[in-house]
Amino acid sequence: MVGFSQDVGMSKRINSPSGRPRSIQANQAILQATLDLLAEVGYQSMSIEAIASRAGVGKTTIYRRYTSKEELVADAIESLRADVAIPDTGTFWGDMDILIDNAAKKILSPLGRQTLALIISTASSNPQFAQVYWTKYIMPRREAFAQILQRAKSRGEIQPDADVDLITDLVSGSLYYALIFKPTAEPVDTYMHRTITLLLRGIGHGA
């Protein structure tokens, strides 16, 4: 969630608020309904009322937990397991192929498409909110990518002084650009293959 931390793990509860505790079933129902609707109708067309109705929950119960749709959706997405397995096939291209294939699969699902649209849509208008996605979605993949590059370095497949962050930016940016604007008709993995090949060679005269 965006700004909530709820004191889990202390053996003795410090502040046990009186009154009825918040329903964890409501929590889950809300998040599930949010993800369902996100996948079905997309972020813009999604109304809080529809989420509440689908979750079998009062609107108040949602507003008590979240102050905006962004926050709610952010939490819903965060609640998903984002497990990025780091492949280790022994070769740079072997690892890359798996990584790209994973990313492509993720994005082909309805939820993936809508999530990407949402990320991109709100990223520039709502920077602190984009941070959630950065942490949840992009960082894991960047780390996986960085590790693959590192291993490629140690195998001598990559220059030892190459700026890993910048390379990651270039490759990530190129991937997103391809996904958004589809500059070619070829499949994403082929296209990325060409891109990375170009990047390996460099374009400068001395190369």
- Report long-range pairs for 119-126 (Cβ below 8 Å, ≥24 apart): 120/176, 120/180, 121/43, 122/70, 126/70
Q: Are 127 and 71 in contact (CB under 8 A)?
A: no
What span, in angstroms and rounded, lies between the C-alpha atoms of 192 and 138? 17
Q: Which is nearer to DNA, 37 or 158 (CB)?
A: 37
Closer by beta carbon to DNA, 41 or else 180: 41
The reply to whether 49 sits near DNA by the rule CB under 7 A is yes
What residues line the site for a second copy (CB under 8 A)?
42, 44, 113, 116-117, 120-125, 127, 130, 134, 138, 156-159, 162-163, 165-167, 169-170, 172-183, 194-195, 198-207
Rounded distance, CA 109 to CA 38, Å? 12
- Which one, of 120, 121, 73, 82, lies nearest residue 103 by Cα? 82
159 binds, among DNA, a second copy, none (CB under 5 to 8 A by kind): a second copy
- For the bound state, the minimum distance from the C-beta of residue 136 to DNA, rounded and expressed in Å, comes to 23
Rule CB under 7 A: say whether 1 interacts with DNA: no
Q: Is 194 among the residues that bind DNA (CB under 7 A)?
A: no
Nearest to 54 by CA among 28, 25, 22, 29: 29
Binding site for DNA (CB under 7 A): 16-23, 26, 29, 47-50, 56-61, 63-65, 68-69
